[in-house]
Structure 1
Amino acid sequence: MIAALFLMCGLNASATAQAPRERLNIDKGWRFAYGHADDEAADFGYGLRPFFFAKAGYGDGPANPEFSDAGWRKVDLPHDWAVELPFDQRGNTNHGSKAIGHPFPENSVGWYRKTLTIPASDKGRRISLELDGVYRNSVVWINGHYLGTEPSGYSGFRYDITDYVNFGGENLIAVRADATVEEGWYYEGAGIYRHVWLTKTDPLHVAQWGTFVRSTVEGANARLDIDLTVQNVFKSEQGFAIRHEVVDARGQVVAETTQADRSVNAVSDGVFAATLTLSEAHLWSLEDPYLYTLRTSLLRDGQVVDRYDTRFGVRTVTFDPDKGFFLNGKAVKLQGTNNHQDHAGVGVALPDGLQTWRLKQLKSFGVNAYRASHHPPTPELLDEADRLGMLVIDEHRMMGTSPEITHQLERLIRRDRNHPSIILWSVGNEEWALEWKDIGTHLALEMQDFVRRLDPTRRTTVATSGSGKGTSIGADVIGFNYGAQHDVDGFHAQHPEKPALMTEEGSTLTTRGIYFDDPARVHLNAYDRQGRPGSSLSIEEGWTRVMARPWMSGMFVWTGFDYRGETTPFGWPAISSQFGMVDTTGVLKDTAYYLKSVWTDQPMVHILPHWNWAGREGQPIDVRVYSNGDAVELFLNGKSLGRQAMPRYSHLRWRVPYAPGTLTARAYQKGRQVAVQSVTTTAAPTKVVARPDKTALKADGSDISVVWVQVSDKKGRPVPTADNLIDLKVSGPIRLIGVGNGDPGSHEADRPAERHRYARLSNWRSLAIDDLTATAAAVAQDADTSSWRDPSQWLPPEAQPPLTKSLVLRGEFARPDARPDEEVVLFVGALAADQALYVNGQPVQAETLDGALIVRLNPAQLREKNSLAYVFTTPAGGVQALYDQSVSASRWGSLRVTTPAAPWQRHLFNGWAQIIVQSTGEPGMARLVARSAGLTSAMVDFKVE
């Protein structure tokens, strides 16, 4: 579902009231800093203010609008701070051994702040803040007012902030995320890793996710049943008319209806049904993912007050217990993969373009279905699945019927139910405390009924690791996780009414480009085999079993992409899984080519392994070939090693004594050659090669290009065993946002980032002076301040001393523990126009950095205890007024130590690395340069417009 007006623009741009609805992306220009999970002082004093949570508007620390975040780092969203952290053996291996969680309280809380201007012309509209996903346990504040807490890292949430908005002025959004406690058992990232929106509507408007389009195919036509929820925030009943228009892919209105004389009571919601006939309906399918748009308008007194667009597709979906899955009446085997969200380099903060790129990588080897394991996917992934023709199992995070869990489930269903790509709702996965118990059956049935009330058009599933009792009995469509763990035939015989599919199969363990196990480097050979004998099957065995059972709807391989965490069978130093058909960067492993041979019809042949085996001359090499031909002949240096018939759903195998040269496989269909592939022994690398997926980028600050990096020998052949270190530089309006190489044991930085450490000045004292000749003694480093006033101590009006001409304000800070390459900056306040500044008694001049006043310090010249002193004309209200505006003195001074970001570089792993570049928002020409010592560099030019 998409709002009618989708603007990727800044809020300070002209946002007129002409549009009935505006949905503004506010990803750009946030400030970020690490807080602290255990130490309130290190968490910027959050929660220490009197009446902090007792009184409205008492947001504390960064939640206070007056708090200064001038020293914080600038970031654009989506942002994952966990991917920027180092690897650490104390970290949770299941979460990728990142330095986050209970052992690392200094890394487990993140603060985000953004100031935005909302025009005075918006007064009278409803303003809503929408966050698609924050990991995790987020607290949101607006202008110092608490809005709420969302514990889940995967559920989108929304706050109506109208009552708190400063129309015609600045508004401060503060978000605190605490990723100390984990939700899953895999890498989950940390921070605002999905988009954030500001939505503006009339008080009478379509509710969030307030449309539901249900299609019924009737011959060549389709009946559309539309449910519309209208929200009226006015304090009086409102009358209006509803106009629905169906717009086809060409932009033409192909069906419409108008309903007059509708009304909603004051401060209430109303639900309105409508029916349309869509003539000559164009069905959504895998081959032709055709989309329509329902344009809904609300009219009051003939004027459009809201307009809301809903994208949908017309198709039929059937799960038959005897014949499997059908799309539009056509039998389709689900050729699926399970996937978590993270990607090499960027963690879980995927740009939209990377969502598209990843789906295309999966489609390249025949994937037609995607299971979002084990949580609701980001909305943009579903948008792309709709556009590209990819079926989706949309999965809820946790089984249960408590208010919190059902509210999260309801948000999932309402958000996603118009997507034609979604074929099943999954309400649980391997809930071991429930799978063999009656409560599992009960909860599965209750959740199934809950989902049906929200969406009667789709069935539900539960993915189970054990069947015969519990959740499997309550499942509507049974999802088997791993055939070796179930008697699938016995279950089918006992429950012939239940459709079935393999929700997980394979769990194979392979390292891309490795063909002999190397446990010391946490590498495993890439030949397909049972990853966990007795618990799972090989990819080939799994697919063969599915194809032997017409009633089995399909198979979802565990997994499509490798992902951080869950490092089976290794612990540290492994940092990522090895279950994927592609590695963490999306390079196809050999098992992906097996699936391509059985999942696609385009003629292909694939040889494994590579043919660089110096030192193994004469030793037999296990050579395997995948192809969708009916026979393959293998040649070594032009000599035939024999032609073999290709078994169905299988592979061919030769034992070939190694000799340098070229190994060639020729695939045949009915005696005619249809595909050929060769692997060749290469020489030493001479040149870096960089291949972008595109070189034309939009100047929107979001568009990306994925760049493969290899090295080639003097004949231009990629070297499959290369491990060269590649140094990266960019110029022009692009930036590097992530690098990776797919090595499950690499601890290199995926996303180098500078790190700030902060310390507040303390022991503040003030001295009232009339005689400026006393200034030198007052600011001296050894000045005795024991009798000075504590400015934080409140005095009643009658006890306030008389104001003097001038004031000395003085605080202390310890010498920071800083490395020679680290920058130390003292942030100072602009307390008065005539202020003079002194550090350790010496006058200093402040400079402006990004709108803030700073004093650069040399730690070698500092003492163990140091002072900052201000001298300025006493302000109206004196010390008390000065402190009241200081946010507990935090605006008077703070120290920042900056660790510079590591250089952007990455070793190749088995000949590959990946770079992701992104436009900065400015047009122009840009260049990426990839260098490696002793080799010719690679340059890629980009046009950004």
Structure 2
Amino acid sequence: MKTISPQGILLYFVFLLSFCSFGQNKPERDLILIDKDWRFSFGHLSDTEKDFGHATGYFSYLAKTGFGDGPAAPGFDDRAWRKLDLPHDWVVEQPFSEKASFSHGFKAAGKGFPEKSIGWYRKKIEIPQSDLGRIISIKFDGVFRNSKVWFNGHFLGTEESGYNGFEYDVTAYIHYGGENTIVVRADASMEEGWFYEGAGIYRHVYLQKTNPLHVIQNGTYVTSEIKNDTAEVTAEVTIENKGNYKGPLAIVQNIVDASGNQIATVSENATAPDFYKTAKYISKVTVKNPLLWDIDSPNLYRLVTQIRQGDKILDQYETSFGIRTIRFDAEKGFFLNGKNIKLQGTNNHQDHAGLGTALPDELQYFRIQKLKDMGSNAYRCSHNPPTPELLEACDKLGMLVIDETRLMGINDYHLNDLKRMIERDRNHPSIFCWSVGNEEWNIEGNTTGERITNVMQGFSKSIDPARPVTVGISSGFKSGISSVVEIMGYNYLGNGDIDAHHNEFKQQPGMGTEEGSTFATRGVYVTDDAKHYQSAYDKKPRPSFYSIEEGWKFYAERPYLAGMFIWTGFDYRGEPTPYGWPSVTSYFGMMDVCGFPKDNVYYLKSWWGKDPVLHLLPHWNWAGREGKEIDVWAYSNCDEVELFLNKKSLGKKKMERLGHLEWKVKYQAGTLEAIGYKDGKKILSDVQKTTEIEENIKLTADKRILPHTDITIVTVELTDKKGLHVPNTNDEIKFEVKGGKIIGTGNGNPTSLEKDKFLDEITLVPITNFQERKATTAEASTQLSANTEEGWKEAFKDRDYKNQAPSYAYRGQFDLKNNALTNIVSFFYKKIGLETTIFVNGNRVPASAEDSDKYILNSGILRQGKNTIHIVAKPLQKLKEWDVMNTDPGIIQVITPSEPWKRKLFNGYAQLIVQSDGSGNDVVISASAKRLKTGVLTISSGKK
């Protein structure tokens, strides 16, 4: 170990102080989204050669600082890798396999697929010289999973969980005024949950720049106390000093309303913390006549925190928050702003059709609004912390949230994850409860569970005393966790006696954290086990699971229960109970994976919503069943409903509160109509008509204007010549888009094994059996024919770099398994010499115009199977004896163009998710199929 002289230490601190003082007059922070233009390639779990030789270097990345090797090295050549934008989920891009994980939707990735369990990401960024003196960090909202990150070859750390946000300070490693390289290796070989989780950088990544004295990440905590017409807002802020700041500071807290008006402000005197230390400050701010955050009026404020030193603003940090009160009562349930609210909730995982877990921000709003339209007012994050954008959508749209950590335990691994979740999310007014566990069967009913819950509950309260804690419990409601948790979370009526538990623990509030689960396939009304289709009528699926109606009646009729969360709002990938392969999604959702409603949605809308509802099921296309009885149901909140078949009344029935109505109707083609009455007056009707065959493709978008790179969700449906939706057709539709691109497609069919993505396939083909010989002539082309089998030996082996030949010829082979004329084949040359000439199968190949080290290989010179490449070049010379010389000639890239995007409709519906290309042009979507009239939809860019 080397020792450093006192003079060296002094010089170091002089540099550090000058470094930290440079740029202290930069007033505010920058948060820059860096999702664009990443490079991606699969590595390998166990084969280091297929993992690009990573971690095989003499020092590698843990032995010596700055020695990231393989793709972690800054100079690694990634030109042949795929170019993409984040967020990205590589699992959704894979085919299905019966050998893959049942619980994760049978996608051929991750566990059991070592060639698709490691993903490498690389990105180059420019950081200007003017940023010297600022603190620069890379922020990740989530990488699934077990990610390792490098910056300019420096190993930054590992984050095991795929659900945690994390950041790394890279200030000391930056090439200011030059190029910098970010590298991420994600290892998704292990699953965290028992549901589809995806893989890769599936959430946003940011470059953050602050002054050395700044508010730490998630460093504010805003609470409020309402008295009469005034709210006293407590603003807590934690600041950090990574510079040489000394002396007095001012902490200024400004509250700004939704219109941007400053409505309150306060300034507190403070002192800068010591070098690399933090300090916490608390301010009280009064807001008169506050607009409360509520599910119907989600009013939001912004806290603008400034750190000032004299006239300089050293840092400015903004926090969105809401003013509201929450309270649980053991006998009366849940109260929001003093008003008794029944929680009408759903559980949800974080994936969507065609996209997996890599959801654009706008899709979070689409999904939350779908739940709101159903009458839902609460959302449980199952079973992990969500992406921040989901919580922002809940804040802005008015949706209450249970935020849930991933794993129960009392050590740093568990508690640190819990701490990060709470500190990240505690300013969201939508969050009303923390969940520290779910169905932990090994510990639910014993003292171990009690101890863990007591620790996690107390730990949560130490970070956020303003919210209660719950656990979802399913293995009995008598002892263990259920006897100590603050808010009892009941998972399923069939698992215990809820009334008996309440009578024993009268001071403990409770709610149904999972309930009312049923099996249903959208648009299917006869269970067909051979096809893996479950009837969409709401039925009790098995003894321990109750129907939606049974579940809601139980909770709605008991004031002491705060409400319930249905399993689930949307279908999700994986867990295809009660089936297995080839079912690849769940059957539990009120909506399918696209968000198309199943009929149960209308039951909930009847009793959760405020507007009159009348919904008739099933469809009325039953050719071949003439004269046979069909079960006809009506979901409604009307007083009475009368049913007609071809204008003949089949009787008027009274609607039972929280119920539905049923008829047995002998089928005949025509019109089935239901009329709803309120106070004896007809208020609305619903009709199911027998349709003719499909003729038209109808496209409907959720947006009429699509600026920038926003997305629109397009519904694809088939109609007959009269424009009626045809409910039992499954035609395959092909799609084209101009002015944008399709980023995902789905149809809600739980057994669909169709592609979710239609992407060009990129195959990297290595050059093998690489040999060399010394030059026999100065003319490059003649070196290939002169004494062709003499003098060849393994390339670079035992080369004497002090006595190299003036020129070398090299040869190797590469194997093309598919030499289709439509393929684009390129050779990405990595310099092994100077004045290089390339030959493939004896044909000289010119370099491409845009990259002198890239060679496009015309299909006419290529062969199916073995191909030979020759390289003639003058050798590189070692400048220093310890220089490591490149011996890799490069890689062959084969791009196989994708077939057009297409999807079969499922019971008349499919969905496209389309993103504008940012050109400012209108987006034009066309859909076509045999026998059908092409559908065309134009969405304006908003550009005049």
TM-score scaled by structure 1?
Answer: 0.94
What secondary structure is seen at the aligned counterpart in 1 of 2:807?
strand
Provide the alpha-carbon RMSD of the alignment.
2.1
Are the equivalent residues in 2 in contact too, given 1:828–1:855 (CA < 8 A)?
no
Distance 2:457 2:786 in 1: 74
Partner of 2:574: 565
Distance 1:291 1:850 in 2: 51
Which of 660, 679, 686 is the matching residue for 2:688?
A: 679
Which of 731, 736, 739 is the matching residue for 1:724?
A: 731
Amino acid at match of 1:828: Y
Structure 1 segments unaligned to the other structure (5+ residues): 1-14
Distance 2:304 2:784 in 1: 70
Distance 1:697 1:585, change over 3 A: same
Partner of 1:932: 929
1:845 maps to 2:846:
yes
Which of 633, 640, 657 is the matching residue for 2:666?
A: 657
Instruction: Please list, as runs of the form range in 1=range in 2, the aligned pairs for 1:909-920 lying within 5 A after superposition.
Output: 909-920=906-917
Partner of 2:12: none
Instruction: Please list, as runs of the form range in 1=range in 2, the aligned pairs for 1:335-484 lying within 5 A after superposition.
Output: 335-466=344-475, 467-484=477-494
1:521 maps to 2:525:
no
Distance 1:238 1:697, change over 3 A: farther
Instruction: Please list, as runs of the form range in 1=range in 2, the aligned pairs for 1:892-903 lying within 5 A after superposition.
Output: 892-903=889-900
Partner of 2:6: none
Distance 1:49 1:464 in 2: 49
Deviations 1:77-116 (A, max 9, x none): 1111100100111011110000012321111111111101
Distance 2:770 2:633 in 1: 74
1:749 maps to 2:746:
no
Are the equivalent residues in 1 in contact too, given 2:816–2:864 (CA < 8 A)?
no
Partner of 1:856: 857
Report the alpha carbon displacement of residue 404 of structure 1 after superposing the two structures with TM.
1.5
Amino acid at match of 1:836: T
Distance 1:885 1:925 in 2: 51
What secondary structure is seen at the aligned counterpart in 2 of 1:934?
coil
Amino acid at match of 2:450: T
Are the equivalent residues in 1 in contact too, given 2:618–2:632 (CA < 8 A)?
yes
Partner of 2:59: 51
Greater Cα shift, 133-142 or 777-786: 777-786
Are the equivalent residues in 1 in contact too, given 2:819–2:863 (CA < 8 A)?
no
Distance 1:441 1:809, change over 3 A: farther
Partner of 1:870: 871
Are the equivalent residues in 1 in contact too, given 2:639–2:654 (CA < 8 A)?
yes
Distance 1:779 1:901 in 2: 39
Are the equivalent residues in 2 in contact too, given 1:815–1:859 (CA < 8 A)?
no
1:714 maps to 2:711:
no
Distance 1:880 1:719 in 2: 76
Distance 1:510 1:93 in 2: 19
What secondary structure is seen at the aligned counterpart in 2 of 1:439?
helix
Are the equivalent residues in 2 in contact too, given 1:284–1:290 (CA < 8 A)?
yes
Are the equivalent residues in 1 in contact too, given 2:838–2:869 (CA < 8 A)?
yes
Partner of 1:176: 185
Are the equivalent residues in 2 in contact too, given 1:781–1:866 (CA < 8 A)?
no
Distance 2:32 2:24 in 1: 12
Report the number of matched residues: 917
Report the alpha carbon displacement of residue 774 of structure 1 after superposing the two structures with TM.
7.8
1:29 maps to 2:37:
yes
Greater Cα shift, 245-254 or 415-424: 245-254
Q: Sequence identity of aligned pairs in percent?
A: 44
Distance 1:851 1:835, change over 3 A: closer
Distance 1:343 1:421 in 2: 22
What secondary structure is seen at the aligned counterpart in 1 of 2:624?
coil
1:220 maps to 2:217:
no
Greater Cα shift, 753-762 or 635-644: 753-762
Instruction: Please list, as runs of the form range in 1=range in 2, the aligned pairs for 1:231-380 lying within 5 A after superposition.
Output: 231-235=240-244, 237=246, 239-380=248-389
Are the equivalent residues in 1 in contact too, given 2:255–2:263 (CA < 8 A)?
yes
Distance 1:735 1:126 in 2: 37
Distance 1:505 1:872 in 2: 71
Partner of 1:906: 903
Deviations 1:740-770 (A, max 9, x none): 0000000011112223222332454555549
Distance 1:82 1:469 in 2: 40
Greater Cα shift, 317-326 or 864-873: 864-873
Runs of 4+ residues deviating >6 angstroms: 878-881
Instruction: Please list, as runs of the form range in 1=range in 2, the aligned pairs for 1:154-193 lying within 5 A after superposition.
Output: 154-193=163-202
Are the equivalent residues in 1 in contact too, given 2:334–2:562 (CA < 8 A)?
yes
Are the equivalent residues in 2 in contact too, given 1:204–1:232 (CA < 8 A)?
yes
Partner of 1:826: 827
Deviations 1:351-382 (A, max 9, x none): 00000000011111100000000000110000
1:791 maps to 2:817:
no
Partner of 2:8: none
Deviations 1:331-358 (A, max 9, x none): 0000000000100011100000000000
Partner of 1:577: 586
Partner of 1:698: 707
Distance 1:671 1:32, change over 3 A: same
Are the equivalent residues in 2 in contact too, given 1:848–1:854 (CA < 8 A)?
no
What secondary structure is seen at the aligned counterpart in 1 of 2:189?
coil
Amino acid at match of 2:532: V
Partner of 1:9: none
Amino acid at match of 2:428: H
Report the alpha carbon displacement of residue 465 of structure 1 after superposing the two structures with TM.
0.4
Amino acid at match of 2:884: D
Partner of 2:9: none
Distance 1:154 1:410, change over 3 A: same
Are the equivalent residues in 1 in contact too, given 2:518–2:540 (CA < 8 A)?
yes
Are the equivalent residues in 1 in contact too, given 2:25–2:314 (CA < 8 A)?
no
Distance 1:456 1:670, change over 3 A: same
Structure 2 segments unaligned to the other structure (5+ residues): 1-22
Are the equivalent residues in 2 in contact too, given 1:335–1:366 (CA < 8 A)?
yes
Partner of 1:5: none
1:38 maps to 2:46:
yes
Instruction: Please list, as runs of the form range in 1=range in 2, the aligned pairs for 1:550-561 lying within 5 A after superposition.
Output: 550-561=559-570
1:142 maps to 2:144:
no
Report the alpha carbon displacement of residue 475 of structure 1 after superposing the two structures with TM.
1.2
TM-score scaled by structure 2?
Answer: 0.94
Distance 2:40 2:367 in 1: 28
Amino acid at match of 2:743: I
Deviations 1:890-928 (A, max 9, x none): 4x3112233432320001100100011011222112200
Distance 2:405 2:862 in 1: 57
Report the alpha carbon displacement of residue 531 of structure 1 after superposing the two structures with TM.
1.8
1:813 maps to 2:813:
yes
Distance 1:787 1:158 in 2: 49
Deviations 1:655-710 (A, max 9, x none): 000011111111111111122110100001111100001121121x3x11001011
Are the equivalent residues in 2 in contact too, given 1:634–1:663 (CA < 8 A)?
yes
Report the alpha carbon displacement of residue 645 of structure 1 after superposing the two structures with TM.
0.4
1:118 maps to 2:127:
yes
Greater Cα shift, 102-111 or 663-672: 102-111
Report the alpha carbon displacement of residue 265 of structure 1 after superposing the two structures with TM.
1.2
Distance 2:716 2:539 in 1: 29
What secondary structure is seen at the aligned counterpart in 2 of 1:405?
helix
Greater Cα shift, 223-232 or 238-247: 238-247
Distance 1:488 1:207, change over 3 A: same
